[in-house]
Every structure is written in C-alpha cells, then in structure tokens.
A and B are shown apart, each in its own frame.
Chain A
Amino acid sequence: ETGVTQTPRHLVMGMTNKKSLKCEQHLGHNAMYWYKQSAKKPLELMFVYNFKEQTENNSVPSRFSPECPNSSHLFLHLHTLQPEDSALYLCASSPGPENGELFFGEGSRLTVL
C-alpha cells in the first residue's frame, strides 16, 4: 500500500453540492495536513491536525470543513463551493507537526461548476 492514499482522485461538483475528500495514511504518523494547489500559485496550507486535534486553520473559509477521526484518517467536507475553489487538494502526513519529512498523497482534483 502506498503511504498516503487520497480518494477520489477526481471530483466534479456543482456549487450547491455536498461532497467529501478522504485521506488515509499507513505510515504511523501523528500529524496530517490539507494543502491546496491552484494553477500558477504555490501550495497553500489549509489545516493541520496533530493527534486528531486541529492545531492550525490557515484562515480557510467555512465552506471547507475538516474532520480527523483518528491519526490515520483525514476528511475534507465540501459545501456550497465556488468555481475559484477548483484546485488540486493534497493531503500530507509527517511524524509530528514540528519535525520530520512530509509525505504527500496523489491529490484530489476538484472542479466546481
């Protein structure tokens, strides 16, 4: 199994839909992250979780709602998104939030119509 697995890989949704992105890591890490990658822009950190507790919210709009039920799973719930939210959403994990390498999943390509 790959270290960090994201599903779905591709998602198309309307502005009124509710959908969720899922991330699972098999590395025994304690910290998990959501990043957003838009065209022509550097990666932007969205959320950080450490031992299931959210430790960082980088001023993300409330239409993005993260959930971390345990150290191995991370969700990003999506509701009433805007077309400008279309991007590649990347999940990552690391041994802890302040040390070690980050390992990324393959990403979920989101298109909002």
Chain B
Amino acid sequence: KQEVTQIPAALSVPEGENLVLNCSFTDSAIYNLQWFRQDPGKGLTSLLLIQSSQREQTSGRLNASLDKSSGRSTLYIAASQPGDSATYLCAVKDRGSARQLTFGSGTQLTVLP
C-alpha cells in the first residue's frame, strides 16, 4: 500500500527566503505526482503535475522535481512571500490503482513579513 510522507509538518521562514518542501513515497511505480496548495478552510489548488516520465516541472517561482527511484519529490519556492503561507500537499497516483491519489499530511508553511 502506498504511503506518502511530508516533512517537516510545519515550517516558518522570513520573507524572501528560498525554501524546499519534501515529499517521499514508498512505492516507486507511480503514474504521476501532484502538488497542491490549501489555504485554511478552503479547497485545494493544483500547483504542479509531474508525470512519471518527467523529472521536473516549473511554474513561476515554483519548481517541483521527481526522483522515482528514490521515492522523493521536492517543491522549491523561490523568494518566498507572505502570500505563500498555506499548507502544501503532495499526492501520488499509483499505476496499480490509477483511479485514486494517495495524499501526504501536508507541510504548513508560514512566511513572516
């Protein structure tokens, strides 16, 4: 059974810092991996989708990488801003059960002004 872990559970950084959020998964036979952002009491906003054949995806100040062999993905946020404060979730879609995502518990990010 796929397990997804996100470390740290919470992170606080000063504005302007570059930061990395980590996601690890136990079964490397994945279909894709998706990073989401969730603001308090709100739904999830898709940030980046990485297919299993890709190694990274970029959108603005965000860069997500994927290393299937080691079961790891990172989300890099450049020049962080207070508006980036949110919970960041990664989710993995397995090849064996391609209809559903397995979510991590998220990293709660606070960017201090």
Measuring CB to CB, which residues of chain A are less than 8 angstroms from any residue of chain B? 4, 6, 40-43, 45, 48, 55-56, 58, 88, 90, 92, 97-98, 100-107, 109
B98 pairs with A101, CB closer than 8 A: no
Q: Is B49 interfacial (CB-CB < 8 Å)?
A: yes
B99 pairs with A56, CB closer than 8 A: yes
A56 pairs with B43, CB closer than 8 A: no
Give min CB distance, B60 to chain A, whole Å: 17
Q: Is B4 interfacial (CB-CB < 8 Å)?
A: yes
Q: Which chain B residues in 60-113 approach chain A with CB under 8 Å?
A: 89, 91, 98-106
Q: Which residues of A contact B104 (CB under 8 A)?
A: 42
Instruction: With CB as the reference atom, state the residue of chain A lying closest to B44.
Output: A104
B103 pairs with A43, CB closer than 8 A: yes
